Amino acid sequence: MQIKDLGEFGVIDILTRMVIEQRAGPRNAQSFSFNLMVDNGDDTAAWNPGGPIVNELFTTDTMVEGVHFTRKTTPWPDLGWKSIVSNVSDVASMGGLPAYALVTLGLPPDVEVADLERLYQGMMEASNEYGLAIVGGDMVRSPVVFITVALTGVMLGQPMLRTGAQTGDLVAVTGYLGSSGGGLKLMQSSRSEKGEAADYLRLCHRRPRPAVAAAKTLVEAEVSTAMDVSDGLADDLAKLCKASGVAGQIFADRLPLHPFLSSQFPKDCVDLALGGGEDYVLLFTGHPAKINHVVSELPEGAAVVGEVLAGEPGQVIVVDAQGNEMPSPKRGWDHFGTNRR
């Protein structure tokens, strides 16, 4: 069987099981009194390095030319920015702050040095914006450009996990959905849309801003279940529900849509909000009273968008204002499956 037959998530399941079942244990870490707190399967791994308070986070994310980006829709500085902030977003989804990064570049030999400098310019802008430091990396020859960033993070207290959602919880997000997908759609179309709305959407795609400040608000409010929305709300809520052993529903009429998204894409805006991806807002769940209160403390765009139900783990439906189930949204990203966008 080839991995395209099994799909990305089937492959991950098999390999994760091998890693857990065949593991002799993180012996060196334990002998230094490091305590592994979050293992495979969440937005980051996490451990406590022996002290009483500070915990460390560890994540990695990769972008491959022709798969995650094209040079047409993602100029080099934006590619640098995005390769850093997609990792920052994973750290934020646990409630942490990014600390140290290693950058791996796979490069064809004909890449221009000036383009690499522009790539690093974007990386430095993101690194300085979010307070992390690039401390090393690796550079290798490759037939296609790929960029892997490995990032550590730091936080006080318990990381927010994917596994804590309970029946009856509300589901909320920290900001507008679909804007990044709208920007990508504009850039992929042949018409070069002008004006404030188009500029805003394209910027959302090219320079996404991870929800670091919102994460702090969530941790302070003792929200314990969260993840970042990188593949689209419908898919990411399904992952969170699967990890928690629950089902969920999304209220299509309550999705927070930026007015510029609605004006540019009056027909597609709900689909973009459900399946667009790369919004890097946080998705979080909890007791209704707590979630309603937290949402009121977050900036514009934060909203309750659904609820957690008993049911088949990972099953997520979308309902309209009358509570009627709507057609299932376009599936999100599967790297190897046949439903690739």
Contacts by residues 88-91 (CB-CB < 8 Å, ≥ 24 positions apart):
88/126, 88/130, 88/132, 88/151, 88/210, 88/212, 89/208, 89/210, 89/211, 89/228, 89/230, 89/280, 90/43, 90/44, 90/59, 90/61, 90/151, 90/228, 91/43, 91/44, 91/57, 91/59, 91/151, 91/153
Is there binding between residue 311 and a second copy (CB under 8 A)?
no
Residues whose CB falls within 8 Å of the CB of residue 165, separated by 6 or more in sequence, listed in order: 171, 225, 240, 241, 243, 244, 246, 248, 285, 308
User: Cβ of residue 264: shortest distance to a second copy, in angstroms?
Assistant: 29
Judged by beta carbon, residue 117 or residue 320, the one nearer a second copy is 117
Q: Return the closest-CA partner of residue 60 out of 78, 34, 83.
A: 83
Other beta carbons less than 10 A from residue 157's beta carbon? 13
Q: Return the closest-CA partner of residue 304 out of 316, 286, 322, 317.
A: 286
Applying CB under 8 A, which of residues 35, 73, 75, 137 lies at the interface with a second copy?
137
Q: Which of these segments, 6-14, 229-237, 272-280, 321-329, binds a second copy (CB under 8 A)? A: 6-14
User: Cβ of residue 143: shortest distance to a second copy, in angstroms?
Assistant: 6
User: d(Cα 265, Cα 177) in Å, to the nearest integer?
Assistant: 13
User: Cβ of residue 191: shortest distance to a second copy, in angstroms?
Assistant: 29
**Alpha carbon separation from 265 to 184, 258, 341 (Å, rounded):** 12, 11, 19
Judged by beta carbon, residue 110 or residue 300, the one nearer a second copy is 110
List the interface residues with a second copy, window 142-171 (CB under 8 A).
142-144, 146, 148, 150, 152-154
User: Cβ of residue 212: shortest distance to a second copy, in angstroms?
Assistant: 9
Instruction: Characterize the bridge pairing of strands 45-48 and 54-64.
Output: antiparallel
User: Cβ of residue 225: shortest distance to a second copy, in angstroms?
Assistant: 18
**Alpha carbon separation from 9 to 16, 147, 205, 305 (Å, rounded):** 10, 22, 25, 25
* Three-state DSSP class for residue 79: helix
Q: Using CB under 8 A as the criterion, what x/- string covers residues 46-85 for binding a second copy? A: -x-xxx--x-x-xxxxx-x-xxx-----------------
User: Cβ of residue 218: shortest distance to a second copy, in angstroms?
Assistant: 17
Applying CB under 8 A, which of residues 35, 41, 167, 200 lies at the interface with a second copy?
41
Judged by beta carbon, residue 65 or residue 271, the one nearer a second copy is 65
List the interface residues with a second copy, window 91-110 (CB under 8 A).
97-100, 102, 104, 106-107, 109-110
Judged by beta carbon, residue 109 or residue 327, the one nearer a second copy is 109
User: Cβ of residue 297: shortest distance to a second copy, in angstroms?
Assistant: 22
Residue matched to tokens 């052993």:
245
List the interface residues with a second copy, window 181-210 (CB under 8 A).
none
User: d(Cα 59, Cα 149) in Å, to the nearest integer?
Assistant: 8
Judged by beta carbon, residue 59 or residue 93, the one nearer a second copy is 59
Applying CB under 8 A, which of residues 70, 71, 128, 222 lies at the interface with a second copy?
128
List the interface residues with a second copy, window 9-28 (CB under 8 A).
11-12, 14-15, 18-19, 22-28
User: Cβ of residue 122: shortest distance to a second copy, in angstroms?
Assistant: 11
Judged by beta carbon, residue 123 or residue 318, the one nearer a second copy is 123
Judged by beta carbon, residue 60 or residue 263, the one nearer a second copy is 60
Q: In what order do the strands lie in the sheet with 316-319?
A: 225-228, 282-286, 170-173, 303-309, 247-251, 316-319
Total site size for a second copy, rule CB under 8 A: 92
